[in-house]
Structures are given as structure tokens and as C-alpha cells.
Amino acid sequence: IEAQQDAKGISINKAITTPLTETTPEAITSLLAQIMNQNSIRPDKLIGLISRKDVTVRLLKLPSTDAQELQQMVSFEAVKQIPFPAEDIFFDYRIMEATSDGYSHVLLSIAHKNIVNKFMDILGKNNLKPDILTLTAEGLYLWAKANFAEDIKAKKSILVIDIDANK
């Protein structure tokens, strides 16, 4: 997807979908290069989206609103949530809300390094480096937030549908 922001919000300029006949990293790398060359794609910024199915996500309620304390708590929680050693994972978090009673609601995302490294290798072989690496679901959330800020503030119901297929 190629997008651009203007006064009205973010609009999609180009969307390209191509079925994968082969799912090896080499085949995906080659197909990505082909798509980029055929469509003269040279991004100024790149957002990499990792499938939610490849990431463990937890919503945590932690007893602090201090950024340094939260970072330590999240580091501890990340290792407790998965059956892998700490050196085999990447994790990140987003503070969703800080409450008046001193708690924070935190969205924790954990991915095995193999998943992230494979993704980054495919991009790297096409001379691409993402500015942001996030979940597909969070990418949709951020897009909706950027385009419907007033509706969100007014607590209007917003429906975003992502129909995705693995086959």
C-alpha cells in the first residue's frame, strides 16, 4: 500500500496485491523486488507489518505510571509470557492508558527473533529498512486513528474490516 497524508487525513494512492505461489523467503524476496521494479516503488518511509498470528500479544495492568518503572516491569513480564529465553525474543509495548489510581494499561507484543529476522532479511535484500515495525492490527488501528480522530473523540462507533487470507 502506498499512502499519502493531506489536510483530510491519510489516503491510499496505490494498493497492490499478489498471490504467493511459493512462501519461501527467497520467493518472497524475489516477488517483492519484481513488484517494486514494475511499479517504480521507492518509498520515503516504510512501515513493516508483522502478522498478528506470529506475535504473542498481552494486555497488562501494571501498578505504575512512571516510564522507567514500566519499562522494567514490562521486561520482566515479557519473559514470563513465553516459553523462550529472553535472548530469543524481541518485545515492545505501548502504554494504552494511565489511570488516576496509578495503574497503566500496557499492550505488550512479543515475537521470536527468527520471525523478525526473516522479515528484516527479506526487506534488507530489497534495500528496504522499515521506519516502524508493528502488528497488522495495530497498523489498521493507527490508520483509523489518523483518519477518524474527531469521530473517536466523539465516541462514535467505527468499524474497520480487514479481510485477510493465508491461502
Angle at 117 between CA 50 and CA 130, to 5 degrees: 55
pLDDT at 75 over 70: yes
pLDDT band at 29 (very low <50, low <70, confident <90, very high): very high
Cβ-Cβ contacts under 8 Å for 59 (sequence gap 6 or more) = 96, 105, 106, 107, 108
pLDDT band at 167 (very low <50, low <70, confident <90, very high): very low
For 116-145, write each residue's pLDDT tens digit. 999 999 999 999 999 988 888 777 777 777
pLDDT of residue 5: 75
Cβ(109)–Cβ(133) below 8 Å:
no
> Considering only CA atoms, which of 89, 53, 52, 103 is closest in space to residue 80?
89
Cβ-Cβ contacts under 8 Å for 132 (sequence gap 6 or more) = 46, 47, 48
Query: Which of 4-8, 22-26, 133-137 is predicted least confidently?
Result: 4-8
Residue given cell 491519510 in the structure block: 10
> Within a 10 A sphere around the Cβ of 16, how many other Cβ atoms?
11
- Alpha carbon of residue 39 to chain centroid: 24
pTM for this predicted structure: 0.75
Q: What is the Cα–Cα distance from 30 to 151, expressed in whole angstroms?
A: 41
For 80-125, write each residue's pLDDT tens digit. 988 999 999 999 999 999 999 999 999 999 999 999 999 999 999 9
pLDDT of residue 128: 93
Mean pLDDT of the chain: 86
